[in-house]
Chain A
Amino acid sequence: MRLELIGINHQTSTVDIRDRAAMGQDDIQINLNNLVEMENIDGAVILSTCNRTELYVSPLQHHSENAFRSLFQSLTRLTRPEVDSAYIYRDEKAVGHLLRVSSGLNSQMIGEIQILKQVKDAYHLALNNHSTNSILNRMFLKAIECGKNVRHRTRISEGSVSVASAAIELSNRVFGSLDNCNVLLVGAGETVRLAAKFFGNAGVESWRVSNRTKTNAASLSDNLGGNVVEFPPTEIDVGWADIILSATSCSSPVVQEKTVFNSSESSNKMQLFLDLAIPRDMEPGIKDLPNNFLYTVDDFKDLVAANIESRQGEAIRAEKIVDKLIIDFSKWYQENRISPTIQQLQSVLETIRIEEVNKNVGRFQVEDRDQVDKFSKSLMRKVTSLIIGNLKRASREKDDVKLAKALTIALSSADNTNVNEVLEQLDNEFSHRSTP
């Protein structure tokens, strides 16, 4: 059994192509059922997200590249030239790719955490559909373990990577929990609505909305469960708020330094001013007031850039973790590849043992025959374990000469037609290995 992967992602395809390659849960189930019914496929898993569609299969023999692309095309709504841009990886490279995917190293935004859940879901869907085999099970469990390890042992998923999430991160750094924070929204446009959604998800429940057009302010405040206040905001409203978020299209600042100074003069409380407008909505002097923090879009870009840089640094550490797990898997995989041969070898040796015991059993007293049987079993067990150990080691080291020697030495004195069959099978094994 072998491993193969074909797929497209954000690096190889446009959004349009990715959309047409994407599959819903029902499509995936139908495709998985069709795939495992194919003669050459022992197991399959399909991973389909907004940024990638990947088909993992465990075939009995590797497909030719052309056949594999045709198979992928038949599952998606892609044209042949589009499928030609898909990447194909086999065996250890396929494992390495999946481990990087689950770790977030292959994501559009390095370290994103959603992908690990998507890998888990894809695997569980295939598992429940009985379309996985031992190799795919092992590979996906290793990938999930790898994703968890990378996120636990590095900071690859820490730090916000968009302006809106950076605003939340900063608010959290200032106030801790946002549950008891009062938020004043200045403006009612798309940016403010999006930011309000983020803050709402972070636990904010107390809102005031200040906007030039009252109906828009009322619509937003109704959605949030807040109140509409004067535009521009008064000292009372500014003084009430812990976080003041502004994104209007006004050409001059709507939140004045003097208003802020007067509002906070007696309260001594910390306030966070988030100016997401271009041109600016808040006077720059606000940042010089001792209790206030003023952040603009440019500042958030710096925070986002710092976080991205930090994630890239962590990616180097994550790669080391991934590499180690790839080696672990490869060891198991190499041993697993030789297991049918081992099983057959055990069967051959057992046949030889039984034949020899039956041939010679008449020479012994009846009461000694059990002992002879036990002795032959014990002897064969020792010889077999020696050969199997040697085979596994040779298989792990991919040393075909050693592998051949191990079997030849093991069976050279035997004269049995089954042995010849085993050697023939081994020859086939070697010829497949040498085929790219």
Chain B
Amino acid sequence: MSVNSIMFSIAPLMHLILFSCLLGLWVVLIYRPNRSLEEIGTRAGTYLALIYLAWIIGLVFWQKRIPVLNFSQMLILLGALIWWGQNFVQRRVRQRMLVIFPLAAVIVLLTSSLIIGVHPGEVQSVLKSNSAAFHISLSLAGIAFLLGSGVFGTGQLLLHRQIKSRNFGRLFQFLPPLGDLNRLRQIALLSGWWLFTISMISAFLWMYIEASAEGPVVSHLHPMLTLWVVISLSAAASRFNWLSQRRLAFSSAVLALLVFVLLLVSVIEIYSRGVA
């Protein structure tokens, strides 16, 4: 068994299986609550985050680059960032229901990356530079935070609706408090904005430092710049309380969806044009 097959085939498959088992456990816990199992689930999540970290470090050492050499690797890194973020939040806010969302997201990302193929093969020159690695990593971290903000916003909307309609079912019982969700959403949104802003600045620097990347990067920058403006407006509205909490939650959920779609479109665009 070669290191290549361990890194690019067995490891993602193993992660997919482990995350699926954990998702199964949490779904069962929603219907059959059990505090001891919940603690086991939380601990298993932490170990899984460490295993994921070990895999990412292994990939960095093996290919001597941050794993952003193809779309599949970007999805893997994004999944890792989402899961690490989830573990960080879980330590502060006890949340039974919200863990389902990041778990499902990570499973979708891992499945997609497995389908596409994790092995980088012939790496495009534009992705070999350190500037690219820096820019893409920051963008992915920013996207992870923005997606997190969308999850918290969705949770907020659901719980708001439950409380308004006096529905005291599972969502009412298992979602974190509305105030906590709002704080988490705001922190995630502002952190995402900072990372995205730095990522945009790095993109401009990259554009001017490495002339070869100018053409494709400029075309890629237009939607990203538009997105940055939208994120900035949303972050400002959240920071300065321009809207009600419910509207801010809604805007975060929509923004997360938009980010995901734009990310998908822009990356597909880069690859379909065969950037050289």
Residue ranges of A at the interface with B (Cβ–Cβ < 8 Å): 151-155, 158-159, 170, 172-177, 267-270, 287, 290-291, 293, 295, 299, 302-303, 306-307, 310, 317
Segment of B15-23, B53-61, B144-152, B174-182 engaged in the interface with chain A:
B174-182
List the A side residues contacting B176 at CB < 8 Å: 176
Contacts A153-B36, A154-B33 given: A173-B243 contact, CB under 8 Å?
no
**Interface flag for B108 (CB, 8 Å):** no
Q: Give me 29 A-to-B residue pairs in the complex whose CB atoms sit less than 8 angstroms apart, sorted by A's number.
A: A151-B35, A152-B35, A152-B36, A153-B35, A159-B173, A170-B163, A173-B159, A173-B172, A173-B178, A174-B177, A176-B176, A176-B183, A177-B179, A268-B241, A268-B242, A269-B245, A270-B178, A270-B179, A270-B245, A287-B164, A290-B246, A291-B246, A293-B164, A295-B166, A299-B166, A302-B166, A302-B168, A303-B166, A310-B173
From B32, B177, B242, B245, contact of A172 by CB (8 A): B177
- A290–B247 CA distance with the chains assembled, in angstroms: 9
Contacts A154-B33, A173-B159, A173-B172 given: A290-B244 contact, CB under 8 Å?
yes
Q: With CB as the reference atom, state the residue of chain B lying closest to A149.
A: B36
- A331–B180 CA distance with the chains assembled, in angstroms: 49
From B32, B168, B179, contact of A303 by CB (8 A): B168
- A310–B163 CA distance with the chains assembled, in angstroms: 18
Residue ranges of B at the interface with A (Cβ–Cβ < 8 Å): 32-37, 159, 163-164, 166, 168, 172-173, 176-180, 183, 241-246
- A154–B172 CA distance with the chains assembled, in angstroms: 17
Cβ–Cβ contact A174 & B180, under 8 A: no
- A310–B169 CA distance with the chains assembled, in angstroms: 9
List the A side residues contacting B179 at CB < 8 Å: 174-177, 270
- A154–B173 CA distance with the chains assembled, in angstroms: 14
Known: A158-B173, A175-B179, A176-B178. 4 other contacts (CB 8 A): A152-B36, A176-B176, A270-B245, A303-B168
Chain B min CB distance to A316 (Å): 12
Q: With CB as the reference atom, state the residue of chain B lying closest to A272.
A: B163
Chain B min CB distance to A167 (Å): 13
Cβ–Cβ contact A174 & B178, under 8 A: yes
Task: Name, among B168, B172, B242, the residue most crowded by chain A CB atoms within 10 Å (CB to CB).
Answer: B168
Chain B min CB distance to A203 (Å): 13
List the B side residues contacting A317 at CB < 8 Å: 32
From B32, B36, B168, contact of A307 by CB (8 A): B168
List the A side residues contacting B244 at CB < 8 Å: 268, 290-291
- A7–B239 CA distance with the chains assembled, in angstroms: 62
